[in-house]
A = this chain, B = another copy of it.
């Protein structure tokens, strides 16, 4: 049975000592987020994750969700009770506006808490997580009436939310979307069509489900410019907030899938369901995309979360499992064999995962803080620069953290040998669950194209230049630091690779966009490595600062320095290969005729 211990101390170190949240005190909500409050919230979230959600992870995988003939869906044993605790703790709305019953705390805190929930039970955490996404969309685009009607119950977690984009023939290419909306005399719309892969589309955790649905209003233009966004409640809501009749939306079937069995992945049938327009007609995609950065950041966190929990269990196993002897000589003569952690290849695996986890957590936090700035700062320039950061880093975080999160879950499973392939240890579930994060919310190839095709050149490359400038300035200002040199030098080299790759695109992909497409995934990973490397420099610097008066915590900071070195020596060198691939261009990739495949 897998276990989980939320990395509260590491999270506090990052937020306090690396990113100095106290410097954001001027932003609304941040004054309330004192170190004490943050720690208390994190410890409470840790408790919920460790004690309530972790034990339900295997249960959820084994039982899955079941659909009755009437279309109702039952979640696994224990999910209902656990969800009640989510509602009682007010976890859905910790960062939502107080006006709608939220606590108004920084969005960064929701991101930190969500990592814990996702590590403990990813399939479960999707129910509140999707609700947070739907809340964000309503907050940004819905009319005051719709907000008033839906948000308080959603912020409280009493109602959950969903996103309905995909149709059988249309995933990435939403321009092909067919779901129809017909305007009614009262200003509402009747929505008809089939949506697939709808997470949390139907379940028994909440008394109502608020669907956000993309559909095409009768007579709207074809393609992406004729798509509108609607709110469609499962059960009609009266003006007084009372629940009325069932709406014309139902779960047609549940998908049988590789993982996240505890979450109901539904085919949703809309049959003249009553809905209300969110934002403007035909501007549904834009409305959807303004919340995409946060949703994708959340999926990146899922990658990190599975990597973290898989690491923890692999580390425990590696210290317990006795097998073979250290090649440098017996380490535990009193035991029948040494624990496998003595073997360098096992260590290499564990170090690789933790070197990712700790920097990925920093990268997520750095970016979540930018999200807060972009929403809460009163300084337009600050908001713009934070927006730039979000736009640029979001595809990197989504793509790289889920690719590596999955790869790490696989590596952690590998340390268990045959026992990792068996369901009872839970390691193979982490792999199956982590896999979806590479796919949904825009498959990772789409993230790479978003980065290379859209984000690099946006506003004359402003966001990219700002990123380069920040890292370069950081390197330059510390160039004389002997203590930092071992981290700075490799980062400088990899930054140069990233700059060279960016330049190569400028020179070779404008006229031949296939050169950008063929190099996009490698560029995304090259970018990710540089961003993670930068995080390691900042972590190392903070650790060096803390060490002299760390006393009992000294081993924790020393470990940061060793892990930073491991990252620089073992993981960052990959940037050279990524650059070589990019510079190979698209020729051999595109040359074969289609029928050759």
Contact = CB atoms under 8 A, between A and B. Distances in A.
Interface in A573-597: 573-574, 576-577, 580-581, 584, 586-597
A343 B349 CA distance: 34
A346 interface: yes
A594 B589 CA distance: 45
A513 B345 CA distance: 12
B322 A418 contact: no
Give the interface size class of chain A.
Answer: 35 or more
A52 B438 CA distance: 34
Interface string A414-445: 10011011111000100110011011100111
Q: Tell me how many chains of this kind the complex includes.
A: 2
A570 B589 CA distance: 9
A4 interface: no
7 contacts: A341-B594, A343-B449, A345-B449, A345-B517, A420-B439, A570-B589, A573-B580
Contacts of A559: 592, 596
A439 B422 contact: no
Nearest to A509: B327
Interface of A: 166, 169-173, 175-176, 196-197, 255-259, 315, 318-319, 322-324, 327-328, 336-337, 339, 341, 343-351, 354, 406, 410, 413-414, 417-418, 420-424, 428, 431-432, 435-436, 438-440, 443-445, 448-449, 453, 512-514, 516-518, 520-521, 555, 559, 562-563, 565-566, 569-570, 573-574, 576-577, 580-581, 584, 586-597
B319 A594 contact: yes
Contact of A257 (B337, B428, B521, B574): B428
Given A339-B594, A431-B435, 12 more contacts: A166-B418, A170-B323, A257-B423, A344-B589, A344-B590, A349-B445, A350-B597, A414-B445, A421-B435, A559-B596, A569-B581, A570-B589
Nearest to A258: B428
Contact of A580 (B418, B514, B576): B576
Contacts of A196: 418
B439 A414 contact: yes
A418 to B, nearest CB: 5
A569 B588 contact: yes
Nearest to A453: B327
A423 B597 contact: no
A173 B555 contact: no
A343 B517 contact: yes
Given A350-B597, A439-B417, A337 B580 contact: no
A423 B258 contact: yes
A510 to B, nearest CB: 12
A337 B171 CA distance: 12
Contacts of A444: 414
Contacts of A595: 555
B520 A345 contact: yes
Nearest to A418: B197
B438 A414 contact: yes
Contacts of A256: 422-424
Q: Which 8 A/B pairs are nearest by Cβ-Cβ distance?
A: A344-B517, A569-B584, A573-B580, A258-B428, A566-B588, A344-B518, A315-B597, A345-B445
Given A319-B597, A521-B345, A562-B592, A439 B423 contact: no
A348 to B, nearest CB: 5
Contact of A597 (B318, B337, B417, B445): B318
Given A328-B513, A438-B414, A443-B417, A322 B592 contact: no
A509 to B, nearest CB: 10
A331 to B, nearest CB: 9
Nearest to A435: B421
A439 B580 CA distance: 31
B521 A555 contact: no
B418 A440 contact: yes
Contacts of A339: 594
A590 B341 CA distance: 10
A345 B518 contact: yes
Tell which of A171, A573, A581, A589 has the most Cβ of chain B within 10 Å: A589
Nearest to A222: B336
Given A421-B258, A576-B577, A589-B348, A322 B169 contact: yes
Contacts of A173: 322-324, 337
Contacts of A171: 323, 417-418
A550 to B, nearest CB: 14
Nearest to A355: B588
A453 to B, nearest CB: 7
A327 B513 contact: yes
B588 A562 contact: yes
Nearest to A324: B173
Nearest to A340: B172
A566 to B, nearest CB: 4
A344 B520 contact: yes
A557 B91 CA distance: 61
A422 B257 contact: yes
B518 A348 contact: yes
Contact of A327 (B315, B422, B514): B514
B565 A588 contact: yes
Which of the listed residues A315, A432, A436 has the most CB atoms from chain B within 10 Å of its own CB? A432
A444 B588 CA distance: 31
A445 B410 CA distance: 13
A196 B418 CA distance: 9
A555 B350 contact: no
